[in-house]
Amino acid sequence: MTTPERVAIVTGAARGIGAGTALRLAQDGLKVAVLDLEEGAAKPTVDAIVEAGGTALAVGADVADPAAVTAAVDRVAAELGAPTVLVNNAGITRDNLLFKMSEADWDAVMAVHLRGSFLMTRAVQSHMVAAKWGRVVTLSSTSALGNRGQLNYATAKAGLQGFTKTLAIELGKFGVTANCIAPGFIASDMTRATAERLGEPWEDYKAARAKAIPVARAGEVEDIANAVSFFVDERSGFVSGQILYVAGGPKA
């Protein structure tokens, strides 16, 4: 039996983990909508996919805006086909200690991670239900276990784990799985920005973090993309509601 051509949406895919995931899913044979806040920022990822022989579409949308999300998903369905794979990767950080954290910084992180994942999944699930097949993969973090200076981020990432487990229960009977990946320290644009904010040279910061990881190295974007690929695979249909820590050890 021939496998239907699948269409994936990856949010926050202009760079970092999102871009690496989009590239990997394209290599796996999926058509990929590369979604980011600004469409122009997503074009380099699309270009890389197309140059490698894949099919991709750059889409600009604020995942926290319901109208923008609906328009984006409708556009993907019209131009690439019905999306039955969603990777909720879009995220931001607004780190600070509790007594310094503003309401705006709390709300901004909740809006992108929690509201964004909710809106995107709600918009895409009808396509999955109609196809009787779907994959939702959401990015959490080891910060969900608690991390000083990240009260907003840790709370959002923990919330996404409950979000994932509930999706698995609600959507399972329609052939849709929902799983969560919790990365540890990954060498990416986001962690480089953290090093800059702390005033530490990137290589020193990365080496110091790697010392605390059992496999003795920093994670790479490809490590997370590989995990997404596993969850999205046709053969992973009996794996749902799981939280996979990709952190080089039991905690990192």
- Where are the chain's structural domains? 7-184+220-245, 189-218
- Enter the tokens of residue 19: 């871009």
Confidence at residue 194, expressed as pLDDT on a 0 to 100 scale = 87
* Residues 218 and 186 sit within 8 Å (Cβ to Cβ): yes
Confidence at residue 251, expressed as pLDDT on a 0 to 100 scale = 73
Q: How far apart are CA 204 and CA 211, in angstroms?
A: 11
Global confidence as pTM:
0.97
Confidence at residue 2, expressed as pLDDT on a 0 to 100 scale = 56
What phi and psi values does residue 96 have, to the nearest 5 degrees?
-175, 160
At the topology level, CATH places domain 7-184+220-245 in: Rossmann fold (3.40.50)
Q: How far apart are CA 76 and CA 78, in angstroms?
A: 5
**CA 252: distance to chain centroid?**
19
CA atoms within 13 A on the CB side of 205: 17
Q: Residues, the chain, total?
A: 252
Q: Provide the sign of the torsion angle of the four alpha carbons 35, 38, 41, 46, taken in this order.
A: positive
With a cut of 70, which residues of the chain have pLDDT below it?
1-2, 252
* Residues 163 and 114 sit within 8 Å (Cβ to Cβ): yes
Confidence at residue 1, expressed as pLDDT on a 0 to 100 scale = 47
Q: How far apart are CA 148 and CA 53, in angstroms?
A: 43
| Residues annotated as catalytic (active site), given as ranges | 153
- 137 closest CA partner among 168, 114, 170: 168
Confidence at residue 45, expressed as pLDDT on a 0 to 100 scale = 98
